Amino acid sequence: MIRRKSVAPRPSVKEGSSNQGCPSQPSSQPQPDSTTQHVDAPKSSESNSSQWRIFDIFKSVPNDSKKAADTNESSEESRKRGTSEKESYVKGCCCCGTVVTYPARSKKFLCTVCHTTNLLDSRNINSAETGNHAPPFISFKLVKDMLDKCLAEAQKSNANGEPKSTHQIFEPLSTYLFDSFSNFACLNGSFKIKKSSKKLHYSTSNIDIRDIHATFNLLTSLPTKRPLFKALYGASELLKRVDVGCENDPRNLKWLLILLEIPFLYKVLISGDTKTKQTCSMIDVSEIKALSYDILKRALGVLSNVNSPFTLNYITWWFAKLDRSVFSSKIDLINLYITFHLKKYFYLANSTQTGRRGSVRGRPGPSRYRGDMEYIDPSSLKDEAIESSSGPLSPGILNLPISQITNSITGLKESKKPDQYCKIKIHQYGNDWHLKTASMVLALFIKANSFRSEASKLPASIFYNSLVDFVNLKMDFDMWQSEKKFNEIKPSDNSEPEIQMIIDYIHGTKNNFKFDDVMSYFFCQFPFLVSLGGKISILEYEARRQMERKAEEAFINSLDKRIAIDVYFRVKVRREFIVQDSLRCIKLNTPNLKKSLRVQFVNELGIDAGGLKKEWFLLLTRSLFSPEAGMFVNVEDSNYLWFSISPAENNEMYFLFGAILGLAIYNSTILNLKFPTALYKLLLNIPVGLDDYRQLYPSTAKNLVTLKNYDSDVLEDLDLNFEISFKDVFGKIHSKELIPNGRHIRVTKENADQYIRCYSKFFMHDGVASQISFFIKGFSTVIGGNALSLFSPEEIELLLCGSDEETLDINTLKSITKYAGWKDQEQASNSIVIRWFWEYLEALSFKEQRKFLLFVTGSDRVPATGLQNLNFKITRLSNGRDSHRLPVAHTCFNELALYDYSSKSKFIQKLNTAVNESSGFGIK
């Protein structure tokens, strides 16, 4: 909280940091606060300048977020305080994070962005839980008993000749549900597994999820919607009045986790057909959907603005301990919520009536319940987009349910690719607090996923949101970088600033470029939402831009110096000395490494259009990884390679290895690497630990961990100290102390944990620190910029090594194959030689299929984004005549050229010979 002396201004709103807490009980019906009034800022110049001093603190805050907020300060208190002591405070809204200024003695303020009343006068929550005024805690048994009682009373009334209406029958239940769901103490203490437990545990939140689901399923089965409506309405009212001072105790946030367990929240995010929409159940009623949406958005908002590390740590562990199916469903729900908002922007971007810069704000919702005017069923926007589109807007993406779009984009195969639609621009979503708060909560699940065991851990692809592929990610990336660099303009690394100035002028990429509107949300801030294909497109975009930049620099330099300067980074090597020649080329051409790569083998014909560099990478890595090089050791326990503690070669070879990996990424080349995840963590500057040691040395790690379970007598008998011995590549034994004077420090039960950490750290980092340093230096020489930081270690491995699929999907390969030399695709597919080819490929073992991929593409791995993104082409030679020549592969273009052989046996013999005996640009 920031404090400034000033005359009390009318509260103002800005985007920024946030703070929040727990809610207070609202009244049974929403009413304006009669004890508060708006306090207008005085008109004196002195007070105005004082107010501007407050705003000067937030110069980087968006201009369009400076909105007024209502104060809730009584006029009587204002008079008592006196003008000499008037002050203004600045605080973030506990729901949307908007920064608000308010008078110092205000007990609450209303955020006009999300309409949440922030209560500043904290209450004693623990005493409120045990108070006599709170309704009984909610449970399925209690609700069921009340329901049975209502039905019994109805039967008694009917017997007495006084029948009641449906609403009258369930009125006691409806009243209880509103009172309990709108009361913090009641809701926060409800649905407990252990009723009397009040202690904090990392292993469980003590919330009975099944009981919550059973309760709401019971309410949805009633003949009237009023009890369900009252329960949701009470929860919505509770979320609109939040105490900002109670976030330091995780137990005060259980009510949020309870509300996120409402089983039908996801249904309000799935749009139906507005023209044929029929109400199938009470959760399809517009009032119920609007209230459910309001609960979801506010619960995510309050949870995302928790700032206490202590509280966040407990919540994250509670998420981590959820069952795999429940954990996955929560991720899907939040992703669905993000998709819900992105889908609106997508329809608006593709609608000519709303315009390219259309906004969904201010558009009326379909519901009669007007408490949340921003809830818009995207299906209405879909109809508008289809009707107003100037071109034929394919319904392929528009007709898909949001749930399908969120988790998979395969539904687009029959319609358009993402690039053929109007992309969602950053000015549409850049200040959307809904996206920001949902992404922040999803980040908690990312951390929770890292806490889960390997067996229950979810893959990174579960967090992808495929609709993000329809966002202009390149603009998002540029704006994200521009925002980071705007306040710190770094001098160019170019030795000739005049040339740099000309290139920046041509590209329009000045460091001080900035949009008029400051954005507060970028997808690059939350890269786990971006699919691997989207990240690769950003990386290629940055790499291509840097390559073009270097080429333009070379061209301009050649004009100035009147000498020819190559626009490519050319590597000329001899096959017999490929390692030495490659190292020499890289060391002599450090300024040119970001140019496009071209490879030439001495005394061999061939123009590098992609194939030569693939073979160069393959041969070079094979030489570096060979046992004769002595750079790496093969760990038999895991079959992974790792840095040799006592390498035979000097550290320059590790510099070469790092540069090779950087060049492979920049030139989109797949390598055959057999390293653990720890290597890719090093590239991202992520520390390695015991889990990485366990992946590399599983048996040794298991034995190390058992040391903690031994008694002191057993450890004494083992006679261990903080010194280890190891062999170098020549078999010589060396000793090394893990800590200073370690040979004289014995391992005991008290220091066993320290010994395990030091032992694993030595083999993973400390013992090979010099090798790792040169490796990272070589990689950093080639790779620069922020694009790589978007990837996780697992994604970097996929990027470098491709997808190590266990089988080759022949049907997928057939679907993406293109043909040349035939009249059309149909004639090619029906030709005899093509039928022989597919039969031949299906009959191969997986090992032989990988060898075929190596022959045609230069790599035995499929692309990281899957086989469907491989470019594969089959060409017919000699206009369909027979030949005694072998088939030809053009690895530059992933192309296989075939003759129309006279028999199937001849075809198989020729193709087998080509695949198994070919090398380079000749035949062995």
The catalytic residue positions are 892
Q: Which residue has the tokens 């695709």?
A: 825
For residues 655 and 579, the answer to whether their CB atoms sit within 8 Å is no
Which has the closest alpha carbon to 538: 554, 557, 550, 522? Answer: 522
Decide: helix, strand or coil at residue 875. Answer: strand
Q: How far apart are the C-alpha atoms of 256 and 807, rounded to whole Å?
A: 45
List the alpha helices (DSSP H) in 486-531. 497-507
Which has the closest alpha carbon to 141: 195, 205, 188? Answer: 195
The strand pairing partners of 723, in sequence order, are 737
| Dihedral (Cα; 755, 761, 764, 766), 10-degree rounding | -120
- Report CA-CA distances (Å) from 21 to 248, 571, 882: 8, 61, 80
458 conformational bin, left if phi > 0, alpha if psi -120 to 50, beta if neither: beta
Cβ count near 15 (within 10 Å): 27
For residues 398 and 386, the answer to whether their CB atoms sit within 8 Å is yes
- Report CA-CA distances (Å) from 33 to 30, 94, 121, 385: 9, 20, 16, 42
Please state the length of the chain. Answer: 924
In SS3 terms, 31-90 reads as: CCCCCCECCCCCCCHHHHHHHHHHHHHHCCCCHHHCEECEECECHHHHHHHCHHHCEEEE
Which has the closest alpha carbon to 2: 72, 66, 54? Answer: 54
**φ/ψ (deg, to 5) at 915:** -70, -40
Q: Which residue has the tokens 């060049």?
A: 663
Q: How far apart are the C-alpha atoms of 269 and 376, rounded to whole Å?
A: 10
Contacts by 548-554, CB closer than 8 A, 24 or more apart: 549/503, 549/507, 549/594, 550/592, 550/594, 550/595, 551/595, 551/596, 552/503, 552/506, 553/494, 553/499, 553/500, 553/503, 554/595
Please report which helix (H) or strand (E) contains residue 827, including its range. Answer: helix 825-830
Q: How far apart are the C-alpha atoms of 68 and 531, rounded to whole Å?
A: 38
Exposure of 454 by Cβ count < 10 A (0-12 exposed, 13-18 middle, 19+ buried)?
Answer: exposed
List the alpha helices (DSSP H) in 589-689. 611-625, 652-666, 677-683
Cβ count near 316 (within 10 Å): 20
Which residues have CB under 8 Å from 114's CB, separation 6+? Answer: 93, 95, 96, 98, 298, 301, 433
